[in-house]
Chains A and B, each alone.
Chain A
Amino acid sequence: MKYFKCYTLVTLLFVLIGCGGGESENKAQPVETVAVVKDPPADNIVETTADIIVDADFNLSTKFNLQLDAKLEGLDQRAYLNVCLAPQSGEKLDYNNCLFRSPLTASGINESLLISHSEMKLVAQIWFYDGSTVPIQYEWQYESNLDEQKFMIR
């Protein structure tokens, strides 16, 4: 073994983050667990992947939860919400590349969405069925300073 084992006792507190439904990446009952985490030593020599030391509880995925909270006050007509990948500059929104599509009612939508990596940018559009040709539009991108990512639509 080319690394030095270095064990650190860490107390991890998993906190249930409120979600609208579905299994969440962070979904867990509040539980206190004592975990052993192996920190890679500063002088760890890495030549191949086999030399890399990874936290036992880190699953190497980059996905995270985004809490979608959409509600239009006074909504009294049919409406439809699309949350889609933001188009490249100069391109149009692709409704075939949405993360979430749903009728929007006066009671609103509270939904936990899974985002595959932090560079994804989203556009939400609310369309009405009244012949209007321009939707209400909102944008979201990852904010690294927040513990919980949220997309608020009002």
Chain B
Amino acid sequence: MKRYQILISLFLGFTSLNAQAGDPFSTCPSKAFLVQDTTARLYGVNLVSGNAPELTSDMGTTSKVNGFGFSVHDQYLYGWGYEAGTLVRIGSDYQVEPLSITNSPDGNYFVGDVSVQENAYYFYKKGASTGLYRIPLDEASGDYLAVNQVIDGSSLNLTIFDLAFHPDTNMAYSVDKNGDLHQIDVSDGSSTLLGNVGQSGTFGAVYFDVEGTFYISRNSDGYIFRINVSDPSPTAELFAFGPNSGNNDGARCATAPLIDEDDTSIDFGDAPSSYGLTLADNGARHEFDASGLFLGSLVNGESTPKAVDDSDDGVQFVTGLEAGLDTLILVTSSTSGYLNAWFDWNKNNIFDESEQAITSKNLVSGENHILLEVPSSAQVGNTWARFRVTENAVVTVNGGAANGEVEDYEVNISDPGMSTTSYPGGGSWVTLAYEDLWPEKGDYDFNDVVVNYRTTINKVGSNVIRYVIEGHLNAVGAGYHNGFAVRFKNLPSGYVNSSLIRHEIGGALQSSVALEPGRSEAILVVIPDTKSIYTSACAYFRTNGCESDPTISFKITLPLSTPIDASAAPSGILDPFIFAVNGFAHGEYVNVNSARSWEVHLKNQEPTEAFDSSLLQKEDDDSDSVLGRYFLTETGLPFGMEMGVNWSHPKEKVDLNTAYPLFRDFAETSGSENQTWFNNPQNSIVITNSN
């Protein structure tokens, strides 16, 4: 509970130690208030999650408070106090203060709110002897606290249990027990039926946010729905699971956003938006407790969803997801809870109701082994899965939850029997670093183009069916424009299913065709121009300052339309290289208009069919095609190198051997010594890469 108390203080902008009795609230809070029970208790409600920690069980009254509303004019709560039978005011001490109103009607009232547009409280009860009433709250007004009937309760005859004012108009809204949405013009008491929202019940607490979105909370189950009141066919969309109660009334500062920009108490998913991601999408989200229930070893939050959620660590796919067969997953839970999960088996970019793969599965603290059947109708390829852990058994694929965590995973559905080979590993990188002055020697800082890199190959039986290339552009220390490409040696380009190539740079899907046209071998242009792809305040990219500039991710999926036997298929690191970009100068030997014919490969990798072989052996190049030697100097130095880890590259003009003193012995002994020289940099003169 201590955590809740801290949160409550934060979201109400209220420091209990310093508050004086009867003081107004210090802010217009994003969280809502809820009063429940026959002896009033006050709760703070996070509509984003439905979480509702108790603020106080003692409001200084022995009876109910109802018809609850927050005034944006003086930042007090107002309501109808049943004990005193009058309007009450509640300040930051949460204590009921009865107000002396005049012309008060008989009885008690449970429907009411404070207008946003005018400083007045409205309350309502249906029936000929009652109706809709207005009480001015402006202490400077001559009619302060003088009750005035707007309309009698037989003319305005609605079975409603709360009302809330729109932030931008003087219209009040409510949903009756049948699910009919009513708009009430409080200036004359007229009402308009806007439509049925599709949910019925006693909606005892209703709220608005600053966007004009309407929220209704059902007493019986605590479900919170949201409604776009401007929609010609308004519909109640399940938004969060809140607390249930026989007696319920809500209030909220209608001019506050639903979530504060600095609020990090909510964990969102990270699947594409079509699956439900943001608050606007009503995406899956949880008000987490880092000492409570979550998946894996880590949970954290954000006010808007991250591109990649670094706390998604609770689900491990122990076996491949093979269509028509069982798969084994390992789910780690911090404590006991319930797991629900959905897979987009049909790859229509949404989680259909029928795609719930795990329903209310009991989790124990620690590891849980779950066998899951992959439908035979599941579409082969990449898709998304969503896992939600909660204290309650029931949760929907989207919407808020008061506890637990959501973890989204991109998964690959395969045909039965598929194997996956990754180099250097499914979560590891090697680094490729190039010097771009070839055929002249460079300055050997090996940072003209630096990428980390891995390859993945899928086989069914002995046939390769798919390649995946991924990595990050870590540095560009070049003045020239260089592209980065991968050649698939001996793989005919006609074997590639070019229409299904998926090419992403920086997480954005590329519309250009990655498969280089007109080549007999498959060549993928991964980054068309490394020099043009980054933005930086520095002259170069992450070599001479601006080290915190984010690296740029890339990923290409290359499915084959004609599988190729593994014995003939390219494998391992493949053949990554840089090339000069057409239209840009690249030294005296390169024609600007046919610059693509300049390439630099790793040492002793043969250039592609696009290469201009007349460049070989010019200047410092000592290539010898007869001996299978390419891109080396007379002393055997390379122009491109592979390092076996995610390497920290030298800063601009820092010599490789100065940055890595163990390199010399490694190089001169042909790798007999200092085999992991790349793990021992002079830290002050290299740029650390940790992606």
Q: Which residues of A contact B (CB under 8 A)?
A: 3, 20-25, 33, 35, 38, 40, 44, 46, 48-50, 52-63, 78, 80, 82, 84-85, 94-103, 109, 111, 113-120, 127, 129, 131, 133, 135
Contact = CB atoms under 8 A, between A and B. Distances in A.
Interface string B426-437: 111010000000
Contacts of A58: 636, 667, 670-671
B676 to A, nearest CB: 5
Contact of B668 (A21, A40, A48): A40
| Interface hub of B570, B644, B655, B663 (most chain A Cβ within 10 A) | B644
Contacts of A119: 675-676
A3 B645 contact: no
Contacts of B632: 54, 56
A22 B635 contact: no
Given A56-B629, A114-B424, A118-B676, A21 B566 contact: yes
A80 B603 contact: no
Interface stretch (B182-190, B312-320, B341-349): B312-320
Nearest to B446: A49
B450 to A, nearest CB: 15
A85 B635 CA distance: 36
A107 B641 CA distance: 39
A52 B637 contact: yes
A99 B602 contact: no
The 8 closest A-B pairs by CB, nearest first: A21-B566, A54-B636, A102-B419, A97-B427, A117-B644, A22-B571, A116-B424, A49-B444
Contact of B424 (A33, A99, A101, A135): A99
Contacts of A35: 627
Contacts of B367: 133
Contact of B422 (A53, A63, A99, A103): A99
Contacts of B603: 59-60
A102 B415 CA distance: 12
Contacts of B635: 3, 38, 52-54
Contact of A52 (B326, B569, B570, B668): B668
Contact of A55 (B325, B326, B459, B636): B636
A25 B570 CA distance: 11
Given A57-B604, A100-B420, A23 B570 contact: yes
A22 B642 contact: no
Contacts of A97: 425-428
Contacts of B423: 63, 99, 114, 116
A103 B671 contact: no
Nearest to B369: A133
Nearest to A142: B675
Contacts of B666: 60
B371 A21 contact: no
Contacts of B641: 60-61
22 contacts: A21-B569, A50-B444, A54-B635, A54-B636, A56-B629, A57-B604, A60-B671, A62-B671, A63-B430, A63-B573, A80-B318, A84-B425, A95-B318, A99-B422, A100-B420, A103-B416, A111-B419, A116-B424, A116-B644, A117-B644, A118-B676, A133-B369
Contact of B567 (A22, A25, A56, A120): A22
A9 to B, nearest CB: 13
Nearest to B634: A38
Contacts of A113: 421
B486 interface: no
A77 B377 CA distance: 23
B88 to A, nearest CB: 56
Contacts of A96: 316, 426-427
A79 to B, nearest CB: 9
B656 interface: yes
B467 to A, nearest CB: 12
Contacts of A135: 318
Given A54-B635, A127-B328, 5 more contacts: A56-B636, A80-B320, A95-B316, A97-B428, A116-B423
Contacts of B441: 50
B371 to A, nearest CB: 7
Interface in B500-516: none
Contacts of B371: 129, 131
Given A50-B441, A56-B636, A117-B645, A25 B572 contact: yes
A154 to B, nearest CB: 19
Contacts of B426: 84, 96-99, 101
A97 B635 CA distance: 38
A103 B459 CA distance: 11
Interface string B381-394: 00000000000000
Interface in B356-382: 367, 369, 371
B420 A102 contact: yes
Interface in B455-506: 457, 459, 462, 464, 489
Nearest to B668: A40
B287 to A, nearest CB: 27
B209 interface: no
B642 A103 contact: no
Contact of A82 (B318, B569, B571, B572): B318
| Interface hub of B416, B635, B675, B676 (most chain A Cβ within 10 A) | B635
Given A22-B457, A58-B636, A116-B428, A101 B420 contact: yes
B289 interface: no
Given A21-B567, A60-B638, A60-B667, A129 B428 contact: no
Contacts of B569: 21-23
B565 interface: yes
A116 to B, nearest CB: 4
A39 to B, nearest CB: 9
| Interface hub of B330, B425, B573, B668 (most chain A Cβ within 10 A) | B425
A91 to B, nearest CB: 10
A49 B573 contact: no
Contact of B637 (A22, A24, A49, A133): A49
| Interface hub of A60, A82, A99 (most chain B Cβ within 10 A) | A60
